[in-house]
Structure 1
Amino acid sequence: MKLRRRSETHEESAMDLAPMLDFVMNLLIFFIIAAAFVHESGIRVNRPAAKTAKPEDKGSIFVAVSANNEIWIDREHVDIRRLRGEIERMKRERPKAAVVVQADRDARAGVLVEVMDQARLAGVADVAIAATPQ
Structure 2
Amino acid sequence: MRRNRLFHQNDTEEAQIDLTPMLDIVFIMLIFFIVSTSFVQESGVKVERPVASTGSKQNQTAQLVGISESGQIWLNHQRIDIRLLSSSLNQIKATQPRLAVIIEADKRSTTGELIKVIDVLRQAGIPYRVATQKSSVN
State TM-score, norm by structure 2: 0.67
Aligned residues: 105
Cα deviation code 1:38-78 (max 9, x no counterpart): 64311120000001111222221110000000000000000
Partners of 1:104 and 1:57 in 2: CA distance = 21
**Pairwise CA RMSD:** 2.4
Q: CA deviation at 1:105?
A: 0.5
- Give the aligned residue type for 2:133: T
Cα deviation code 1:69-99 (max 9, x no counterpart): 0000000000000000111112222221211
Deviates more, 1:76-85 or 1:90-99: 90-99
**How do residues 49-88 of structure 1 correspond to structure 2 at under 5 angstroms?**
49-88=51-90
Question: In 2, are the aligned partners of 1:62 and 1:102 still within 8 Å (CA)?
Answer: yes
Question: In 2, are the aligned partners of 1:47 and 1:130 still within 8 Å (CA)?
Answer: yes
- Higher share in helix: 2
Q: Mind listing any 5+ residue stretches in structure 2 that lack a counterpart?
A: 1-26
Partners of 2:92 and 2:84 in 1: CA distance = 13
Question: In 2, are the aligned partners of 1:88 and 1:123 still within 8 Å (CA)?
Answer: no
- Give the aligned residue type for 2:117: V
Q: Mind listing any 5+ residue stretches in structure 1 that lack a counterpart?
A: 1-22
Aligned residue number for residue 127 of structure 1: 128
Runs of 4+ in structure 1 off by over 2 angstroms are 37-40
State TM-score, norm by structure 1: 0.68
Question: In 2, are the aligned partners of 1:67 and 1:107 still within 8 Å (CA)?
Answer: yes
Q: How has the CA–CA distance of structure 1 residues 56 and 113 changed in structure 2, closer, same or farther, with 3 Å as cutoff?
A: same
Question: Which of 42, 45, 48 is equivalent to 1:40?
Answer: 42
State the structure with more CA Rg: 2
Partners of 1:67 and 1:46 in 2: CA distance = 9
Q: How has the CA–CA distance of structure 1 residues 100 and 52 changed in structure 2, closer, same or farther, with 3 Å as cutoff?
A: same
Question: Which of 89, 92, 95 is equivalent to 2:94?
Answer: 92
